[in-house]
Amino acid sequence: MPKVLSQIAKNTVIVIAGASGDLAKKFLYPALFTLYRRGFLPQPVKIVGYARSKIEHEKFIEQVTANIKNPGDDPNFVAELESYKGILSYVAGSYDDGAAFDELNRYLENIESSYQSPERNRIFYLALPSTVFVEVSRNFKEHVYSTAGSNRLIVEKPIGSDLESALEMVQGIAEFWSEEETFRIDHYLGKEIVKNLLPLRFANSIISGFWDSDRVSNVQITLNESFGTEGRGGYFDSAGIIRDVIQNHLCQVLSVLTMERPVTLAPADIVDEKVKLLRAIPPVKNEDVLLGQYIGYLDDPEVPEDSKTATYAANVLWINNPRWEGVPFILKAGKALNEDNVEIRMQFKNSTKGLYDGVARSELIMRLEPGEAIFLKLNIKTPGFDSGVTTTELKLNYKETFPDAFIPDAYEVLLRDVLKGDHSSFVRDDELEAAWKVFTPILHWTDGKDGVTRPVPTQYAFGSRGPEGLDDFLAKYGVKA
Ligand code: NDP
């Protein structure tokens, strides 16, 4: 059980391993800039990029700030960006050579030599392919660990490809880093609507009151992407859609959505409830899975021409506890679909027969993307002389309701949580294990592991809603259009 960490407020170096890569450029450096200009980074702070590529300082700065855009016409933006560039630097070195990490350590010590007090905090981000996670975390611990302050290690996904490999990686890192020092990122946990699930449920007794199998018929958690593999076919083909986004992101959303009320809002209490919930979910059964592959996927030069990897999947999960027994949770995701959106859709049971038969079901819809929103779909009397029933929505559209609110990106939220020492939106070791237990059997089936015949996904057109048979599949679990 991780102990509660304190906030890091001063004397900090953030080291990003894999700083030459895509994640660093697209998300991490822009997110750190937001925290910097909003005053959320400790003072003094430096951000040191580390990777093997030899990159000149100017080129590196250009690379990692290219995706930082002025969010409006903020007159301070240019000056703040220039100031931010002043805290960035880059060190080239290998991932497997202790001497290179000693060199990095000397570089950090030089930065730290200007501190006014002895405290030296170091945050390490593994923005690297997972094949080198264990080795780099060992080298950070053995060569670059601060002995005079807090050390925190942020680990990206994927952690493993099934239960066994995930446990191996967790244990490999745990040999060097304690659980409280380790922050396993699932960036979906940093999304505004996911962070809002606890207050929505537990700060509103009316909502807590309908959050169970007495009222809820089924829940869909959906992630639709309109694009295909786009040059990542090689990686994607070995992962598949279930491993890529369902086992981690959608399963994490499910656990926050359905967990019991935590005793307090302390990170350990929240994560304890998530783990209990995940442990109540039996492994997904083959018959509760629908698989699809978009037409055109096999044209990707990195994808084998006979690939059976699913680019679409719907998985139905059941929760064996009194609150949720009998309610299907349908986690579905796909590439090359007709839209880009991520939402949670809770569909309520039919109203009692005899008065308004045949009306639509009420639904609570929480949209994570694009544009945070919460809708409650309700039946009301058709306005006017008409006495019939019309379906309408109570809408909370964040942009309209809070036009001046700044809604941070998930990486901004989570990097700030690391600084605060708040583990509530990170994946604990036992939580990761529980989530892999749910999905490992179907992943072994879809991988064709140990000579099992791989299921053949149904083909679907690029830009369509998904594989034919989707509506029948959903109807089997009580979803009503
Ligand atoms: P990249 O493929 O861009 O790799 C990051 C850096 O790691 C590269 O610039 C390269 O740096 C080094 N690298 C690449 N391949 C290898 C290798 N085989 N062995 C050792 N080092 C290698 O990855 P991303 O930046 O896209 O992702 C980093 C991590 O974040 C991954 O674990 C990924 O799964 C995860 N992630 C990424 C997202 C994204 O949008 N990109 C989203 C969510 C998670 P150099 O050669 O200079 O050392």
* Percent of the chain whose predicted confidence (pLDDT) is above 70: 99
pLDDT grade, residue 232 (50/70/90)?
A: confident
Is ipTM strictly over 0.95? Answer: yes
Quick one: 302 exposed, middle or buried, by C-beta within 10 A (0-12, 13-18, 19+)? middle
Distance 91 CA to ligand 1 centre (A): 16
Instruction: Determine the pLDDT at residue 3.
Output: 63
**CATH number of the domain that residue 433 is part of:** 3.30.360.10
Distance 80 CA to ligand 1 centre (A): 28
Same domain, 455 and 401: yes
Instruction: Determine the pLDDT at residue 5.
Output: 83
Mean pLDDT of all residues in 148-165: 96
Residue 73 has pLDDT above 90, yes or no: no
Closest by CA position to 449, among listed 438, 439, 441: 441
**CATH number of the domain that residue 41 is part of:** 3.40.50.720
Q: Please confirm, yes or no, whether 249 is among the known catalytic residues.
A: yes
Please report whether residue 5 resides in a domain.
no
pLDDT grade, residue 57 (50/70/90)?
A: very high
Residue 103 has pLDDT above 60, yes or no: yes
Picking from 136, 161, 184, the residue at the C-terminal end of a domain is: 184
Residue 70 has pLDDT above 90, yes or no: no
Please report whether residue 3 resides in a domain.
no
Q: How many domains does the chain have?
A: 2
Residue 32 has pLDDT above 60, yes or no: yes
Picking from 184, 201, 235, the residue at the C-terminal end of a domain is: 184
Same domain, 161 and 268: no
Same domain, 282 and 385: yes
Nearest C-alpha to atom 15 of ligand 1 is from which residue? Answer: 129
Instruction: Dump strand ranges (E) for 127-257.
Output: 151-155, 182-184, 216-224
CB 334 within 8 A of CB 245: no
pLDDT tens digits, one per residue of 453-476:
999 999 999 999 999 999 999 999
The residues facing 333 across adjacent strands are 223, 313
Same domain, 177 and 193: no
Mean pLDDT of all residues in 95-123: 97
The b/e string for 305-336 (b: 16+ C-beta within 10 A; e otherwise) is: eebbbbbbbbbbbbbeeebbeebbbbbbbbbb
CB 21 within 8 A of CB 156: no
Residue 287 has pLDDT above 60, yes or no: yes
Residue 1 has pLDDT above 60, yes or no: no
Instruction: Determine the pLDDT at residue 4.
Output: 67
For 235-269, give the DSSP string: HHHHHHHIIIIIIIIIHHHHHHHHPPPPSSSSHHH
The finding on whether 235 has its CB within 6 A of some atom of ligand 1 is no
Instruction: Determine the pLDDT at residue 74.
Output: 85
Mean pLDDT of all residues in 55-81: 93
Distance 54 CA to ligand 1 centre (A): 16
Mean pLDDT of all residues in 338-353: 97
Instruction: Determine the pLDDT at residue 446.
Output: 97
The finding on whether 238 has its CB within 6 A of some atom of ligand 1 is no
Same domain, 86 and 200: no
The finding on whether 109 has its CB within 6 A of some atom of ligand 1 is no
- Closest atom of ligand 1 to 187 CA is 43
Nearest C-alpha to atom 4 of ligand 1 is from which residue? Answer: 21
Same domain, 173 and 104: yes
Tell whether pTM > 0.90.
yes
Picking from 152, 184, 216, the residue at the C-terminal end of a domain is: 184
The residue from 187, 249, 423, 444 that is catalytic is: 249
Please report whether residue 423 resides in a domain.
no
Please report whether residue 74 resides in a domain.
yes
The finding on whether 94 has its CB within 6 A of some atom of ligand 1 is no
Average per-residue pLDDT in the chain? Answer: 96
Range of the structural domain that residue 140 is part of: 12-184
Please report whether residue 422 resides in a domain.
no
Same domain, 100 and 174: yes
- Ramachandran class of 160: left when φ > 0, alpha when ψ lies in -120 to 50, beta otherwise: left
Same domain, 175 and 196: no
pLDDT tens digits, one per residue of 411-448:
999 999 999 999 999 999 999 999 999 999 999 999 99
